[in-house]
Amino acid sequence: MIVVDALSKQFGQFQAVDEISFEVQRGEVVGFLGPNGAGKSTTMKMLTCYLPPTSGNAEVNGFSINSQRLQVQEQIGYLPESAPSYNEMQVEEFLSFIGEVRGYTGSELRRRVGRVLELTSLQEARKQIIDTLSKGFRQRTCLAQALIHDPPVLILDEPTDGLDPNQKHEVRELIRRMSEERTILVSTHILEEVEAVCTRALIISEGRLVGLGTPDELLSQSIYRNAITLSVSGVNAETLLEDLNGLEQVYSVERLEDMPNGAITVRVFPKDRESISSELEKFLKKKKMSIEQFFVERGRLDEVFRKLTLGN
């Protein structure tokens, strides 16, 4: 659905995007991750034909951003960074205006405006002036604008930026619902978002692609992959550490703060990040230890993100 081939953008001498290539398949929700200034928005602006690339190309549903701009823009619903719109307009008026720009009139236009108002739960705010909307509603108005022509591809630039936790949750639910019939590229620097909504993530840093994979594939690169946090009571801490360190599958053991009830707490890192929960459980049972806490980690995305974007 989206094929990006060595896309680059230079602003003067500054290389904002440096030969990025990736593909997004139909029906995927791909997270576009990276620190501030990594080149996410610039890449999205090139994909939506808002900025021409310095070199390289991309195709959206088979249309080239370099030579088929109008066709590309028909394929895409775009929510730009910080959700711009016309502040002095009412919500419905703004959506009708965008619909007209997209070429709809009469009952067709009204039907489409009604549909996107419903999709984004904006009916009650139809007559409100955009300037007076809360940030969450403004974000949804801009999202409604992006849906008016029922595009197969959505490009969303930090759709949850600046929202409170409830609004974030709502926007994520909306993205999930829309992903049933659309291909979505969504930028964010909120890592939980990637785990919550994305089938795959791309990580960029200083204009270059530094990582890609499913959330689980990325998590498997974490040093916390399959690490187990364990609290047991009625044991001597030194003996426990010694015993755990002696296990074949254990790479290292770290002592954490005791639980409030005095249970000894440790974090066990397995060799090769392999799952060792059943072996560990067997061992604890054999030793007749009383387990207060047993928590297996999938990995930590923030740590993988730092490793990939800072190189440490």
Ligand X SMILES: Nc1ncnc2c1ncn2[C@@H]1O[C@H](COP(=O)(O)OP(=O)(O)O)[C@@H](O)[C@H]1O
Chain residues that interact with ligand X, rule: CB under 6 A: 11, 14, 16, 34, 36-42
Among ligand X, Mg ion, none, the one that 166 touches (CB under a kind-dependent 5 to 8 A) is none
What is the secondary structure of 82-148 as a DSSP string? T----TTSBHHHHHHHHHHHTT--HHHHHHHHHHHHHHTT-GGGTTSBGGGS-HHHHHHHHHHHHHT
226 belongs to the binding site for Mg ion (CB under 5 A): no
**If contact means CB under 5 to 8 A according to the sort of partner, which of ligand X, Mg ion, none does residue 34 touch?**
ligand X
CB of 238 to ligand X, least distance (A): 49
Binder of residue 16, out of Mg ion, ligand X, none (CB less than 5 to 8 A by kind)? ligand X
41 contributes a contact to Mg ion by CB under 5 A = yes
Q: Which does 38 bind (CB under 5 to 8 A by kind): Mg ion, ligand X, none?
A: ligand X
In whole angstroms, give the CA distance from residue 201 to residue 213.
6
Paired tokens of 40 = 């996410």
- Which of 2-10, 34-42, 58-66, 245-253 is the region at the interface with Mg ion (rule: CB under 5 A)? 34-42
- Pairing of β 250-255 and β 200-205: unpaired
- Which residue, among 235, 278, 273, has the nearest Cα to 255 in the 3D structure? 235
Is residue 43 within the footprint of Mg ion (CB under 5 A)?
no
Residue type, 131: D
Task: By CB under 5 A, tell whether 141 contacts Mg ion.
Answer: no
CA atoms within 13 A on the CB side of 299: 22
Contact assessment for residue 190 and residue 20, using Cβ atoms and an 8 Å cutoff: no
Instruction: Kindly tell me which of 19 and 81 has the beta carbon lying closer to Mg ion.
Output: 81
39 binds, among ligand X, Mg ion, none (CB under 5 to 8 A by kind): ligand X
Q: Would you tell me which residues interact with Mg ion (CB under 5 A)?
A: 40-41, 81
